[in-house]
Each structure stands twice: as structure tokens, then as C-alpha cells.
Amino acid sequence: MGEGQREGKKPIVELDGVGKTYFRDKEPVVVLDNISLDIEEGSYEALMGPSGSGKSTLLNLIAGLDRPSRGSARVAGQELSGMSDSALATFRSRTMGFIFQAYNLMPVLTAVENVELPLLLTKLSRGERKKRAQTALRVVGLEERMNHYPRQLSGGQEQRVAIARAIVNDPRIIVADEPTGDLDRKSADEILTLLEKLNKEFNKTILMVTHDPQAAERATVIHRLDKGNLS
């Protein structure tokens, strides 16, 4: 047995001494101080903390939307800190699914066309793209609405379309920033149940930023961020 096999699988997210400093009027603002965090593949983890504590900044670093100022961020086996913009874009399109509070659907596109969008960057044929988009809509229970426009859908349904769009490229990790922030309790619970299904049935690793304690409780691990550090 090789050394690697004996050690077992490495975490899908490995942050070591990660910091992020922004500059405002040339003054440094330390948003993340010294974050070390491992996330195992297949886990469902929540990130909580007061407003301005750096939750979205941390999520964006893990997702490859931004780069750390200090430290090492290894995600899905790749070191993100020194990566070029184009390498980061490739990393995101292969590894990440994104869900935001504001669903960010294109109003002029139907549900199925919105879900197909991430696949336009791939070499898949038109027919294959449509088939995959329909499959993703089936997973979120919205196949019947595939030809509806966003304005013809409820907020909860719009978020389900956004989730279908997030999973259409079969990402290993889903990052969700306040995915239930704009929804009533019932729709929020439906979205949380769907995220649980993606985690349990499809083995997606999920990292969710939330202010909602009921949402965080559905995750298996809750991390708390305070003034740029995990407590």
C-alpha cells in the first residue's frame, strides 16, 4: 500500500493561515486574519457570523472568485493563491456551483435556457446541453416549468432554477451565499431540503453562508467567523 493510500483521502478544502486585506483609501483593512480550515469531501457545512465578519470574503476565496493575500488555499487538489485569472475561471467552471441570495437569473431567458448557460463554455452539443439542463431541472422538481421565464416563477422556484444552474456542470463543491435570505419560511425549508438531497444523494460538498440559525442547523458542521477569525 502506498503512502498516499495509508494517509487516506485529503480534505477537499484545505486553508492554511489564509488572510485577506483590502485597501481603502490606501489604508489596509484586514478582513480575514488567519484562517485555517479543512472541509472533507461530501460534508455540508455552514458559515455564520456577524455582518461584516468576512463570511462572503471567505466563501469567495474558497470558490476561486478571489485570491488570498496570505496563506495557502488548496481546493479540490489545486493551490488557488498563485493562480492566473484564466486558470481560476477554468477551476470554477469545473469544480464549483454557485448559489446566491439574489437568484441572478437572466430575465430574457427561460428556465431551461438559464440552466444551460454554464454549459455554453463547454464543447457539448446543443442537444446534449439541453438534455443536461432538463435533467438538472428534474432534480430540483421543476421540469414542468422549463419553458417559463423567471417573472412567471415564485421566489422559491427561481431559487430552484438557480440551483439547477449550479449543478448542471456536476460540480464537486456547491457554495451558497445566503441562499434562503429572500424567501419565506416554507420556501426556505424547501430550498434547504433540496440542498440536503444534493449533499446526501449526489455527494456534493456544500458550504453555505447564512444568518438563519434554522438553516445552519441543517448543516452537519457550523463554523463561526468573528472579526476575520474562526472561533
Site string for ligand ATP, 193-212 (x = CB under 6 A): --------------------
Q: Which amino acid is at 22?
A: Y
Q: Is 92 in the site for ligand ATP (CB under 6 A)?
A: no
CB 28 → ligand ATP: shortest distance, Å? 10
Per DSSP, 154 falls in state -
CB 76 → ligand ATP: shortest distance, Å? 22
Q: Which CB, 170 or 226, lies closer to ligand ATP?
A: 226
Query: What are residue 209's DSSP bridge partners?
Result: 47, 177
Q: Is 114 in the site for ligand ATP (CB under 6 A)?
A: no
Q: Is 17 in the site for ligand ATP (CB under 6 A)?
A: no
SS3 45: strand
Rounded Cα distance, 106 and 126, in Å: 19
Place of cell 472533507: 40
Window 43 to 72, contacts with ligand ATP (CB under 6 A): 49, 51-57
Q: Which CB, 30 or 109, lies closer to ligand ATP?
A: 30
CB 57 → ligand ATP: shortest distance, Å? 3
φ, ψ at 180 (rounded to 5°): -110, 10
Write out the three cell numbers for 14: 484545505
Candidates 10-18, 21-29, 121-129, 193-201: pick the segment binding ligand ATP (CB under 6 A): 21-29
CB 183 → ligand ATP: shortest distance, Å? 17
For ligand ATP, the binding residue among 12, 13, 31, 115 (CB under 6 A) is: 31
User: To 10 degrees, what angle do helices 185-202 and 155-167 make?
Assistant: 20
Q: Residue 12's CB: how many other CB atoms inside 10 A?
A: 21
Rounded Cα distance, 69 and 30, in Å: 10
Q: Which CB, 88 or 124, lies closer to ligand ATP?
A: 88
What DSSP element (H or E) covers 36?
Answer: strand 27-39
DSSP symbols for 195-214: HHHHHHHH--EEEEE-S-HH
**Which residues of this chain interact with ligand ATP, rule CB under 6 A?**
22, 24, 29, 31, 49, 51-57
